[in-house]
Amino acid sequence: MRRTSVLMATIMTIGVFIAAAAFAGEPPADRGHAPSGRWGGRHAPEGPMPTAIMMLVRYQEIDVISELTGLTKENVRQLLISSPPPAILEAYGVPFETFRSAMDKRALRLVKQAQTAGIITKKQADEIQKRMALKIATPADMGDAQR
C-alpha cells in the first residue's frame, strides 16, 4: 500500500516539472495544430514523455478547462480530440493566462503533496517552487529567447 502511494506521488512530482515546462510561456500565435506538438513545439518538453506523465498532464488540463469554462469533463475530453487547449479557451472567452495560472497552482499543490508524503525534501520542494516562480515571472523573456 505504501509502495503504491510513493509511486503515484513520484509520478505526480515528475508531472509538476513537465507541467511547469509546458505552461511556462505564452500559447503559440498560430492556434491550429502544429506538426511538432500540441503547443507548436515551443513549450513541449524535450524527448519522449512517459505515458503516465502525459495522462497526468492531460487530466489536469481537462479538470482546469472544465472548471474555467463550465463544461463537463466529458465535453472537454471530446473538444480536446479536435482542438488544442488554447483554442477551446479562446472559444469560451477564457484568457490563456488564467488557464496557465490555474495549472501552476495545481503543480504547486502536487509539490506540496510530494513533500508531505516524504518523497521530496523541503529543500527540493523549495527549489522546484523557485524554478516555477522564475518561469512564471519571465514568460516574455523565455519566449523571446526561443525564437
Q: Choose among 95, 91, 99, 8: nearest CA to 61.
A: 99
- Average pLDDT in the chain: 74
pLDDT band at 58 (very low <50, low <70, confident <90, very high): confident
Residue ranges per structural domain of the chain: 2-28+39-145
Q: Alpha carbon 104 to chain centroid distance?
A: 7
CA distance 93 to 75: 16
Q: Choose among 34, 54, 51, 53: nearest CA to 42.
A: 34
**Exposed, middle or buried: residue 37 (CB in 10 Å: 0-12, 13-18, 19+)?**
middle
Q: What is the pLDDT of residues 71-125, one digit of tens each?
A: 999 999 999 999 999 999 999 999 999 999 999 898 888 888 888 988 889 999 8
Please give the share of the chain, as a percent, with pLDDT higher than 70: 59
Output the pLDDT for position 119: 86
CA distance 19 to 46: 13
SS3 call for 48: coil
Residue 39 has pLDDT above 60, yes or no: no
Q: Choose among 63, 69, 65: nearest CA to 109.
A: 63
pTM for the full predicted model: 0.57
